Amino acid sequence: MEIIEQVKTESASKNVSMNMEKVKISVQNLSAYFGKTQVLKDITLDIPEKKVIAIIGPSGCGKSTFLRSINRMHEVARGTITGKIIIDGEDVMKIDPVFLRRKIGMVFQKPNPFPTMSVFNNVVAGLKLNGFRNRKALKEIVEKTLKQAALWDEVKDMLNKSGANLSGGQQQRLCIARTIAINPEVILMDEPASALDPISTAKIEELIFELKKDYTIIIVTHNMQQAARVSDYTAFFYMGEIIEYADTKKMFTAPSKKQTEDYITGRFG
């Protein structure tokens, strides 16, 4: 209880310092459940626009559930939530999930390009699903998004080949291209580089730096150094609670909570 009170006080003070930045998503007293099991406990935090927010914490702390609550995928897994998630002033529970997921793209841990589709069709799959058929415009979007995803130079001569033929790192960037092709405002990334080699990981991280110019990014990662490198703010979750949410530099140099310090220095978790 004491921790929750401290976090609430801190979140409130954090919000004060974030007043200079536009809040894209405001999470208010969010609790999430699978049946009767509570996996998120009264989470309150503001996510500023066009910044990268890293969510860290040990396995089972509720990181992925938090991410999936934002685009309402938690309810697809028969989960329930209480509290509110407000995006651009609108309650996500009142937004049509299909429309919401167009606004909030998601990249998963394992690259998952559609295996039977070409690179080209993978990128425009979402657009085609939404009835977008203008071939010339689609070509332009493919080139633009593949360039944004730092993949164009590597695949421009094999657009009609299967996406499954690409390397793991390329496949993940293809998935990012597919996500940004539908022009979302927020990108959720659930361990986007954990299955990749260091070079591919570095490319994804560079890409995140580029993408934050246009998108708000929330990334769940087990890789502490990655969180420190790519994010502007970091939230530390533990057993469903938010323990600390602060500027990433502060979080990794002088966290204010002992639990955070112990976790990031590898002394527990």
Closest distance between another protein and the C-beta of residue 223, in Å? 10
Toward another protein, which CB reaches closer, 69 or 201? 201
For position 264 contacting another protein by CB under 8 A, the verdict is yes
Closest distance between another protein and the C-beta of residue 108, in Å? 26
Q: How many of the other CB atoms lie within 10 Å of CB of 265?
A: 11
For position 228 contacting another protein by CB under 8 A, the verdict is yes
Toward another protein, which CB reaches closer, 120 or 263? 263
Bridge partner list, 27: 45, 85
Toward another protein, which CB reaches closer, 116 or 225? 225
For position 198 contacting another protein by CB under 8 A, the verdict is no
Give the tokens for residue 111: 């690259």
Q: For the CA atoms of 245, 249, 250, 251, what is the dihedral angle to 10 degrees?
A: 50
10/99 Cα distance (integer angstroms): 33
Toward another protein, which CB reaches closer, 237 or 252? 252
Toward another protein, which CB reaches closer, 155 or 227? 227
194/115 Cα distance (integer angstroms): 21
Toward another protein, which CB reaches closer, 46 or 244? 244
Which residues, 6 or more positions from 161, have their beta carbon under 8 angstroms from its beta carbon?
Answer: 118, 119
Closest distance between another protein and the C-beta of residue 260, in Å? 8
Report strand pairing: 233-238 vs 79-87.
Answer: unpaired
Toward another protein, which CB reaches closer, 76 or 254? 254
Closest distance between another protein and the C-beta of residue 267, in Å? 7
Q: Which residue has the tokens 């799959």?
A: 125
For position 261 contacting another protein by CB under 8 A, the verdict is yes
- Of 180, 224, 235, 243, the residue at the interface with another protein (CB under 8 A) is 224
Closest distance between another protein and the C-beta of residue 252, in Å? 5
9/260 Cα distance (integer angstroms): 17
Closest distance between another protein and the C-beta of residue 249, in Å? 11
- Of 76, 98, 137, 254, the residue at the interface with another protein (CB under 8 A) is 254
Are 260 and 56 in contact by the 8 Å Cβ rule? The answer is: no
DSSP 147-184: HHTT-HHHHTT-TTSBGGGS-HHHHHHHHHHHHHHT--
For position 131 contacting another protein by CB under 8 A, the verdict is no
Q: What is the DSSP letter of 76?
A: T
Bridge partner list, 46: 26
Toward another protein, which CB reaches closer, 29 or 256? 256
127/89 Cα distance (integer angstroms): 26
For position 192 contacting another protein by CB under 8 A, the verdict is no
* Residues near another protein (CB under 8 A), total: 12
Helix, strand, coil in percent for the chain, rounding step 5: 45, 25, 30
- Of 57, 111, 113, 255, the residue at the interface with another protein (CB under 8 A) is 255
Q: Can you give the binding site for another protein, defined by CB under 8 A? A: 224-225, 228, 252-255, 261, 264-267
